[in-house]
Chains A and B, each alone.
Chain A
Amino acid sequence: MSVRTDPDGNETDALFELVHLEGAHVLEIGAGDGRLTWRYAHRAARVTAVEPFEASVARAKQGVQGADAAVEFHHAAFEDFAADNDPDVFDVALLSWALC
């Protein structure tokens, strides 16, 4: 048996109750290894995921290969990413276990 996180779908159930992602351009901040990303990305029109740790970004890219979703992972600190991007771009921002 390999380690399974949230096979019960508690996190994704809460997410889908709180927001409709269909057609949305989603910004995920602190995407980590993409654990949550690949679970919702198929619903969104596009996902831009930002993660400061390079090793996590590498694992995240492996995880979404073949997924039917437009997902871009950026290896960057969020502050730098934000400074380089225009305002009013994203429909949904997902601050995922990253505020503390």
Chain B
Amino acid sequence: MQPEGMVHALEQIHRLLKPAGILIEIHPAVDGPPFVEVRSNEELFFSEEDPAFDYEEDLRRAEAAVESVLERRLFALEDRRKFELRTYAASVKEMRDHWTFVGAYDPEEPEEALLRRRDEMYARAAAALDAASDVPELVYVEPAQMSRLVPLMGDRLR
């Protein structure tokens, strides 16, 4: 989404919310890329950042859009939480099939070199899965943040 589109979306949400309404905004955290783990219970066998993470600039634009509506006093930030969204699979194939399935509509693919580095990372993860004791799982970890914003009346768009 382009920056002006983000701001416009926030303006529209402001219009649709009741005056005492609440906006919950969730997006990947800008301060850390997603990473892949191989773990079994509490034992960690493998952990690497996703080398195809290439949307930091998009995240910064999203944060700038939120900041702009806060500065305009369209919304006020009341609270914020950081969390990790974790996706578990038994194998690399299962995990990648899942991402293909849920992300098939994503029009923007990372560049070829990044995709090759991601393939190599998943090959190392597969080796760690094979070598690990017990019944290990592959985990894709996405650092994220969730904000609670409330609409302000001063710049109310109607």
Contacts and interface: CB of A to CB of B under 8 A. Distances in A.
A90 to B, nearest CB: 5
A95 B25 CA distance: 5
A6 B23 contact: no
B27 A94 contact: no
Given A79-B8, A87-B16, A99 B83 contact: no
A85 interface: yes
B85 A85 contact: no
A82 B17 CA distance: 11
B71 interface: no
Interface residues of B, number: 48
B148 A19 contact: yes
A94 B24 contact: yes
B79 A91 contact: no
27 contacts: A1-B89, A10-B83, A10-B84, A11-B85, A11-B144, A14-B83, A14-B146, A15-B24, A18-B148, A33-B102, A53-B105, A78-B9, A78-B12, A79-B12, A82-B15, A85-B16, A88-B19, A90-B17, A92-B22, A92-B23, A93-B16, A95-B26, A96-B26, A97-B28, A97-B144, A99-B62, A100-B28
Closest 7 CB pairs of A and B: A100-B62, A82-B12, A14-B81, A1-B90, A3-B98, A100-B58, A10-B83
